[in-house]
Amino acid sequence: MKLTRPSEVRALLDRLQFKPSKLLGQNFLIDGNILNILLEAADLSPHDRVLEIGPGLGVVTEALLEKTGHVVAIEKDSRLAAHVERTLGQTPGLDLIHRDATDVDLDQLLREQRLNKLVANLPYSVGSRILVDCFQAQTPPERIVVTVQKEVADRLAAGVNTSDYGLLSIWAQLDYTVSLHKVISPACFYPPPQIRSAIVLMVKKARTLDVRDPDLFNRLVKAAFSARRKQIQTTLQKFAPPERLPGIFAATGLTPTQRPESIPVIQWCRLANELG
């Protein structure tokens, strides 16, 4: 059946007597053009090993399986997992995991299954969390193509000195070139969500500067952005004795009165390395 045809998706949901859950972000993709845009951005080859979170009715999963060798799909909803098992379970290369993705050790999964891409229409409520887990994995995906709510897309792609620039931008842009690929209208999903979505494309890049202590880096940016109006000198008082601060400012080229949103990703790396 053609899952990009709204009438067929509605008929399938009726047949399954399935009422989509808002809580689980069950808005199914019903637009063939958007599916193609997502797949093209993923730049798939038979050698790819893809992670998908939330296969739902399997529209993206099926297309991924046609183009790649291996797909690991994690679905929380029992009835949707059973549906995907019934319809696609015999397809070679599909590994369906019926679990809450936030309970899965994504770091271990990416590593052990050698997954090199993440392609998904992410459930809204856990989208950011899943992305951060992937960014911080030991072997992060080399390419990430995901649909997220537009506000999250804006934060992922935000540049310095904008109101959207924050933790998510820094964590994403540390290792990825991030671009807002396509804004999607609610009408492309059934049922239509109340918010706009966007496809974000993230391509892994070589780091210009290595972060020596990732834990310190994370604590530093979290502390700084916990109060966006706070000057960086105030945050740094928690990380270094006062006599070290002038040297740190001189070495990083930062000024004590700068606000966190004016500090580019590379400067955060320098700062964390100076503090370490």
Q: Residues 28 to 47: which contact ligand SAM by CB under 6 A?
A: 28-29
Cβ count near 49 (within 10 Å): 18
Q: Which lies closer to ligand SAM via its Cβ, residue 124 or residue 268? A: 124
Given 34, 72, 126, 201, the residue binding ligand SAM (CB under 6 A): 126
- Least distance CB 45 / ligand SAM (angstroms): 21
Backbone angles phi, psi at 103, to 5 degrees: -95, -5
Applying CB under 6 A, does 149 fall inside the site for ligand SAM? no
Q: Residues 206 to 235: which contact ligand SAM by CB under 6 A?
A: none
- Least distance CB 59 / ligand SAM (angstroms): 5
Q: What gap in Å lies between CA 49 and CA 60, rounded to an integer?
A: 14
Contact between 109 and 139 (Cβ < 8 Å):
no
Applying CB under 6 A, does 24 fall inside the site for ligand SAM? yes
Q: Which lies closer to ligand SAM via its Cβ, residue 190 or residue 268? A: 190
Applying CB under 6 A, does 75 fall inside the site for ligand SAM? yes
**Number of residues forming the site for ligand SAM (CB under 6 A):** 24
Q: What gap in Å lies between CA 110 and CA 233, rounded to an integer?
A: 38
Given 34, 41, 49, 56, the residue binding ligand SAM (CB under 6 A): 56
Which stretch, 23-31, 108-116, 155-163, 248-256, contacts ligand SAM (CB under 6 A)? 23-31
* Omega cis (within 30) before 6: no
Applying CB under 6 A, does 76 fall inside the site for ligand SAM? yes
Q: Which lies closer to ligand SAM via its Cβ, residue 120 or residue 158? A: 120
Q: Which lies closer to ligand SAM via its Cβ, residue 35 or residue 265? A: 35
Site string for ligand SAM, 80-109 (x = CB under 6 A): x-------------------xxx-------
- Least distance CB 243 / ligand SAM (angstroms): 48
Q: Which lies closer to ligand SAM via its Cβ, residue 26 or residue 169? A: 26
Which stretch, 70-78, 177-185, 206-214, 215-223, contacts ligand SAM (CB under 6 A)? 70-78
Given 41, 44, 51, 59, the residue binding ligand SAM (CB under 6 A): 59
Name the site residues for ligand SAM (rule: CB under 6 A): 24-29, 53-57, 59-60, 74-77, 80, 100-102, 121, 123, 126
